[in-house]
Amino acid sequence: MNTENALKAAGELLAEWTIAANTPESNRLDVVIGAENLIASVSAMLDGRWGYLAGITGLDLGVQAGQFEVLYHFCAGAAVLTLRVRTPRDHAVVPSICTVLPSAIFYERELREMLGVEVTGLTNTDHLFLPDDWREGVYPLRKDAVLDQGETRQ
């Protein structure tokens, strides 16, 4: 399957939940969906045997925008499909996709501890990368994170 067809197929798999879609680069398709449809969308990708989950990126869109964006990247050959889910900064929650894709657990744990996005249904919420005695409520990848001298070196 060539890249164009692969992206078209992905677009069709996700059509039901798509809020907006665009093609930022010729080998990519970004699909914006609601957090409530995340698990259904991921299931559709898996059932359609479309690629594999290559990673999850958490973005802080800034205090002014008041939102986080969580990107779920799927790759198939050269094609990259990104599911984009927005969640408000003051109540950041996305559902865990581990129920349908268990290998996502490391990515979700990283997202949770680095950005402070609550991942509901996550079976293990221990720190993965940060130390056990890391200050509670400090999420290093947030744009407004205030880190102590001992915690970072700018």
**Cα dihedral across residues 57, 58, 61, 67: positive or negative:** positive
Asked if residue 83 binds another protein (CB under 8 A), the reply is: no
Integer Cα distance of 44 and 14 in angstroms: 7
Structure-token pair, residue 36? 């409530």
Asked if residue 27 binds another protein (CB under 8 A), the reply is: yes
DSSP classification of residue 119: E
What's the closest the beta carbon of residue 57 comes to another protein, in angstroms? Answer: 4
Integer Cα distance of 83 and 88 in angstroms: 17
Asked if residue 130 binds another protein (CB under 8 A), the reply is: yes
What's the closest the beta carbon of residue 110 comes to another protein, in angstroms? Answer: 8
| C-beta closer to another protein: residue 16 or 103 | 103
Cα–Cα nearest to 83, from 13, 142, 141: 13
What's the closest the beta carbon of residue 120 comes to another protein, in angstroms? Answer: 21
**Residue ranges binding another protein (CB under 8 A):** 24-25, 27-28, 52-55, 57-60, 71, 73, 75, 77-78, 80, 82, 102-103, 105-107, 114, 126-131, 134, 140-141, 145, 149-154
